[in-house]
């Protein structure tokens, strides 16, 4: 039967912060998984390899009579490790899907998922695990429903803890018997508004001539609903054909989407993920919005390099641009010059002259990771193309830098797939016209450029 054995949270040193109850296994069961994970992580770090997402763990069957085994699924966030042991017949994707929902719930409750927040809210996290996992089976996963059972860590919650009152609350309306499980009844807001945030990321591989060898667009639509009553919404797109491989929130009526390509739903109250998708835009060889010309010449104990950037987006600036170059084992130092347009910041120094910064940005070299990072705050198509030229020194007589380098960037109010919201209609037992806001953000995923 498909079930999750439990969940374990480790700190940055591999020590357990939280370990859920494992009633069907010996007491040593969670310790075996923690030791196996820490050993595998140390070995991967020593050999400069990536840790496998699923690790095999040898365990004793209950009673200690025979050897058994389990898979250990894990993810890392903000220096913390989240482990989920599973049985031999369980699909690991089941565990990773639960972890994704669990982490989303923690962000909703705690804000940042940090070691400090975990330690300060032990009781809340334990109660969330108890509600979200019923003997290994995912049960209450909706945040709105959970907040009816487990109080978020607010000031009132802290006062109740001081007074010795349990963090479990007795709701006036039972969430399990509500007609709409993801929306509590009797929602009221002074101003009725709903916001849609479309976030897209682009994965691509580009050859040294600038040709896109492969690319993929991944997107999600986040929603923040503050609507009174039980509004029945119809959300339509001007080009819904670009959406493919969609993953919907349970509130979406899937049959209507299949027939009309219109999202019909009664939204949860507050923030939630409405839709995830992969785009099938015909422009895929989806032109990467930043052009890079790179040249690398290797020499004994070092090499020379040059990079030139150009923006292919005429109407919007590219922001937070970072190019990361692995110069290979043995790289010890870098000498480089970044050049570009000088832009005033709008402030004045003591002499009355305008302060500014070089459009070429800044660079830094980390001798421990042997990675050179070139960062530029923003770049527009009308600027002179920024350049980075320099050389590096290596202890290796024949240095072996990476044959490619990574680029990251973001573009506000932009969509790689050209997905556009057409209109939003409100039906149901409501008598108001809500304010609607739509915002777009496009950012790089894994964009790799070869020398």
Contact, 141 vs 106, CB < 8 A?
no
Contact, 94 vs 4, CB < 8 A?
yes
pLDDT at 356 over 90: no
- Catalogue the E-assigned strands of 361-403: 362-366, 371-379, 387-394
Domain assignment present for residue 447? The answer is no
For 360-419, write each residue's pLDDT tens digit: 889 999 999 999 999 999 998 888 899 999 999 999 999 999 999 999 999 999 999 999
The rounded distance, in Å, linking the Cα atoms of 187 and 91 is: 38
For 154-181, write each residue's pLDDT tens digit: 655 666 666 666 555 544 444 445 678 7
For 38-66, write each residue's pLDDT tens digit: 999 999 988 878 899 999 988 765 554 44
pLDDT at 344 over 60: no
Alpha-carbon torsion, ordered 327, 328, 334, 339, to 10 deg = 0
Find the mean pLDDT for residues 285-297.
85
For 96-114, write each residue's pLDDT tens digit: 999 999 998 998 888 888 8
Q: Tell whether 26 and 132 lie within a shared domain.
A: yes
User: What pLDDT is stored for residue 141 in this prediction?
Assistant: 83
Q: Tell whether 65 and 156 lie within a shared domain.
A: yes
Domain assignment present for residue 237? The answer is yes
pLDDT band at 122 (very low <50, low <70, confident <90, very high): confident
Q: Tell whether 163 and 82 lie within a shared domain.
A: yes
User: What pLDDT is stored for residue 350 in this prediction?
Assistant: 53
Average pLDDT taken over every residue of the chain: 85
Q: Tell whether 239 and 375 lie within a shared domain.
A: no
pLDDT band at 219 (very low <50, low <70, confident <90, very high): very high
Q: Tell whether 166 and 223 lie within a shared domain.
A: no
pLDDT band at 351 (very low <50, low <70, confident <90, very high): very low
Domain assignment present for residue 3? The answer is no
What is the full DSSP assignment across 15-43?
Answer: -EEEE---TTS-TTHHHHHHHHHHHHHHH
Domain assignment present for residue 139? The answer is yes
Q: Tell whether 278 and 302 lie within a shared domain.
A: no
The rounded distance, in Å, linking the Cα atoms of 275 and 291 is: 31
CA angle 204, 206, 209 (to 5 degrees): 160
Q: Tell whether 140 and 26 lie within a shared domain.
A: yes
Domain assignment present for residue 219? The answer is yes
Q: Tell whether 165 and 23 lie within a shared domain.
A: yes
Find the mean pLDDT for residues 243-270.
93
CA angle 270, 150, 224 (to 5 degrees): 5
Domain assignment present for residue 101? The answer is yes
Q: Tell whether 38 and 146 lie within a shared domain.
A: yes
Q: Report the CATH number that the domain containing residue 281 is assigned in CATH.
A: 2.60.40.1170
Q: Tell whether 217 and 250 lie within a shared domain.
A: yes
Domain assignment present for residue 21? The answer is yes
Retrieve residue 406's tokens: 């990574």
> In which domain, by residue range, is 420 found?
193-204+212-285+414-442
pLDDT at 355 over 50: no
Q: Report the CATH number that the domain containing residue 162 is assigned in CATH.
A: 3.30.450.60
For 418-449, write each residue's pLDDT tens digit: 999 999 999 887 888 899 999 999 999 999 99
Domain count, the chain: 3
Q: Tell whether 58 and 125 lie within a shared domain.
A: yes
pLDDT at 202 over 80: yes
User: What pLDDT is stored for residue 314 in this prediction?
Assistant: 85
Q: Tell whether 197 and 256 lie within a shared domain.
A: yes
User: What pLDDT is stored for residue 284 in this prediction?
Assistant: 45
User: What pLDDT is stored for residue 70 in this prediction?
Assistant: 82
pLDDT at 286 over 70: no
Domain assignment present for residue 1? The answer is no
pLDDT at 205 over 90: yes
Match 């006062």 to its residue by tokens: 159
pLDDT at 309 over 90: yes
């Amino acid at each position: 039967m498909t079930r999750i054995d439990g969940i374990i949270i480790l700190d940055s040193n591999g020590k357990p912060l939280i370990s859920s109850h494992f009633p069907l296994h010996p007491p040593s069961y969670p310790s075996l998984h923690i030791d196996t994970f820490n050993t595998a992580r140390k070995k991967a770090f020593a050999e400069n390899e990536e840790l496998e997402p699923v690790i095999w763990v040898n365990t004793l069957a209950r009673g200690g009579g025979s050897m058994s085994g389990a898979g250990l699924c894990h993810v890392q966030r903000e220096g913390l490790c989240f482990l989920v042991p599973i049985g031999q017949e369980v699909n690991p994707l089941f565990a990773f899907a639960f972890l994704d929902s669990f982490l989303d719930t923690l962000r909703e409750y705690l804000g940042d998922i940090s070691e400090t927040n975990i330690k300060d809210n032990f009781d809340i996290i334990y109660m969330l695990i108890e509600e979200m996992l019923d003997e290994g089976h995912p049960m209450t996963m909706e945040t709105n429903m959970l907040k009816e059972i487990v109080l978020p860590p607010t000031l009132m919650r802290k006062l109740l803890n001081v007074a010795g009152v349990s963090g479990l609350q007795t709701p006036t309306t039972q969430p399990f018997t509500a007609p709409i499980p993801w929306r509590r009844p009797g929602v009221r807001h002074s101003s009725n508004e709903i916001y849609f945030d479309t976030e897209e990321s682009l994965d691509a591989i580009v050859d040294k001539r600038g040709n896109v060898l492969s690319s993929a667009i991944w997107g999600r639509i986040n929603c923040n609903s503050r609507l009174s009553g039980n509004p029945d919404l119809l959300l339509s797109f001007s080009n819904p054909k670009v959406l493919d491989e969609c993953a919907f929130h349970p509130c979406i009526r899937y049959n209507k989407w299949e027939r009309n390509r219109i999202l019909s739903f009664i939204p949860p109250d507050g923030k939630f993920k409405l839709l995830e998708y992969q785009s099938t835009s015909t422009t895929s060889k989806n032109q990467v919005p930043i052009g890079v010309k790179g040249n690398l010449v290797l020499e004994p104990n070092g090499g020379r390099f040059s990079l030139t950037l150009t923006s292919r987006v005429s109407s919007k600036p590219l922001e937070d641009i970072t190019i990361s170059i692995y110069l290979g084992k043995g790289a010890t130092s870098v000498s480089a010059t970044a050049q570009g347009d000088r832009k005033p910041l709008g402030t004045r120094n003591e002499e009355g002259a305008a302060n500014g910064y070089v459009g070429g940005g800044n660079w830094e070299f980390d001798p421990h990771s042997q990675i050179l990072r070139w960062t530029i705050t923003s770049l527009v198509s009308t600027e002179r193309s920024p350049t980075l030229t320099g050389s590096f020194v290596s202890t290796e007589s024949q240095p072996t830098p990476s044959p490619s380098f990574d680029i990251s960037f973001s573009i506000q109010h932009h969509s790689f797939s050209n997905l556009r919201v057409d209109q939003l209609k409100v039906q149901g037992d409501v008598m108001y016209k809500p304010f609607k806001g739509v915002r777009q953000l496009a950012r790089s995923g894994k964009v790799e450029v070869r020398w």
